[in-house]
Amino acid sequence: MSAEKVTLTAEKETLLITLLAKAGESRLPDSLLHDEWAARAVERIDYDFSKLKVDRNLMIGVSMRAHIFDGWTREFLRGHPQATVIHMGCGLDSRVFRVDPGPEVRWFDVDYPEVIALRERLFPPRKGYTMIPTSVTAPGWIEALPADRPTLILAEGLMMYVGVEEAPRLIGRVLGRFNEVGGELAFDGFSKRGARMILRHQAVKATGASMHWTIEDPHSLEREFSQLRLVTDYHAYDPRGYDPRQVARLSWAARVAVKLFALIPALGRISRLLRYRF
């Protein structure tokens, strides 16, 4: 197969960070994700991955986060085997293949047209799986989706890149479309301090990405949208969500940081993994 040339920039380019991290973690002997799809995709992409400087700690951290979202997805599908899943800002994530939902599940991956075009070249088709080439903030695509089943809406690694005004508008649109059938909304977010810290990370700096929407109090969305109920709020490296054996794989400096996140609430709150029910 020929190499796939990639010319993504800024926020779109960050999807290569998570792809490379998952591919690298999949090669570790004690891999958590076993993401063979990410590993194969990296091999086929023509891009200077070395400039992203993705180290072992980032590989493990990204994969731990993805593993939690995978677990939430599997949990939802166990309760709703004929559900709809909408993965907004999917990038080159292979969750639909890792989770491998049953034949009655309807799954939509949504991202910019150039990202979806690349996905179509890297990943195979599968029954019940549809890719939608659009910006998540573009009009019309949400309203065109069927709203006849319980719906899981995933936005891992997306919301921080959405505009300050557009992020709550996007949440309002998905709730307006799917509130009657019910479901869950899961995403990760940063506080203002957390966003500043992430933007200084060498991998993110290499892409020139910027972050816009931040969240200080997860309950603020419940006040803004009465349909939402917060059911899971994991802080950075929260022991309720992360297997201690995975944290043990990190470098000693990273493990010290994890302990500080646990001991100092203000630090722990810089990054959150959130799940709401509606």
What is each CA distance from 223 to 168, 216, 217, 219, 244, in whole angstroms?
A: 12, 13, 10, 7, 34
Give me the residue spans of the domains in the chain.
4-277
pLDDT digits (tens, 9 = 90+) for 58-90: 999 999 999 999 999 999 999 999 999 999 999
| Structure tokens, 19 | 């792809």
| Structure tokens, 129 | 């799986």
Going by pLDDT thresholds of 50, 70 and 90, the confidence category of residue 203 is low
Find where tokens 């200080």 sit.
216
Mean pLDDT check: name the lowest of 36-40, 163-167, 194-198: 194-198
**What are residue 86's DSSP bridge partners?**
108, 153
pLDDT for position 193: 79
- Report the candidate in 194, 183, 204 with the shortest Cα–Cα distance to residue 276: 183
Helix and strand element counts for the chain (H, E) = 13, 9
Burial class (CB in 10 A: 0-12, 13-18, 19+), 113: exposed
- Other Cβ atoms less than 10 A from the Cβ of 208: the count is 11
Instruction: Report d(CA 95, CA 107) in Å as an integer.
Output: 10
Residue type, 80: H
Instruction: Report d(CA 250, CA 60) in Å as an integer.
Output: 7
pLDDT digits (tens, 9 = 90+) for 11-40: 888 899 999 999 999 999 999 999 999 999
Contact at 8 Å (CB) between 181 and 147? yes
- Report the candidate in 72, 59, 5 with the shortest Cα–Cα distance to residue 32: 59
Instruction: Report d(CA 39, CA 69) in Å as an integer.
Output: 19
Find where tokens 């490379």 sit.
20
pTM of the predicted model, to two decimals? Answer: 0.92
Find where tokens 């639909």 sit.
96
Instruction: Report d(CA 46, CA 144) in Å as an integer.
Output: 35
The CATH number given to 4-277 is 3.40.50.150
Mean pLDDT, rounded, of the chain: 92
